[in-house]
Amino acid sequence: METGIPDIYAAGDLIQHNSIFYGIWPAAEKQGEVAGINMAGGNSEYHGTIISNTLKVAGIDICAAGDIDAEAQKDSILFKDAEIIYTKKWCFSMTP
Ligand SMILES: Cc1cc2nc3c(=O)[nH]c(=O)nc-3n(C[C@H](O)[C@H](O)[C@H](O)COP(=O)(O)OP(=O)(O)OC[C@H]3O[C@@H](n4cnc5c(N)ncnc54)[C@H](O)[C@@H]3O)c2cc1C
């Protein structure tokens, strides 16, 4: 979590890590932990956070985790269950 300026560390909503801006609490918490350990002379690494969110829209509970491929750049398979209203989307890239 050391920035491009030696001995200056950053974590949380004000940073990007590997070009990812997380904007969620679990990422900020882990980044802060790693930054704190290293600021104290330790040797900890941050390897990213699995993005997940839950919210309620128009009375419907929505949960998403992982790479949701919001730009629809990847191939995907959709599983839908109309009774319990759930959609499972598997995203994968055909290119190695
Ligand atoms: C409405 C809302 C709902 C959210 N819901 C969720 C959720 O359900 N799940 C989830 O995972 N994440 C949620 N988030 C995101 C989550 O709150 C943030 O990712 C997390 O709080 C980031 O932590 P942080 O320490 O980087 O920043 P912050 O929590 O914003 O902490 C920054 C602190 O720095 C202080 N500060 C700012 N400027 C200065 C200064 N000049 N001097 C001293 N102190 C300063 C601020 O007062 C603040 O206390 C939500 C965010 C918002 C706004």
Query: What is the 24 CA–ligand 1 centroid distance (Å)?
Result: 9
Buried-exposed string 60-77: b where 16+ CB fall within 10 A, e elsewhere? eeeeeeeeeeeeeeeeee
pLDDT of 8 reads 97
Q: Is pLDDT larger for residue 52 or for residue 92?
A: 52
The finding on whether 12 has its CB within 6 A of some atom of ligand 1 is: yes
The finding on whether 51 has its CB within 6 A of some atom of ligand 1 is: no
Average pLDDT over residues 53-76: 81
pLDDT of 59 reads 86
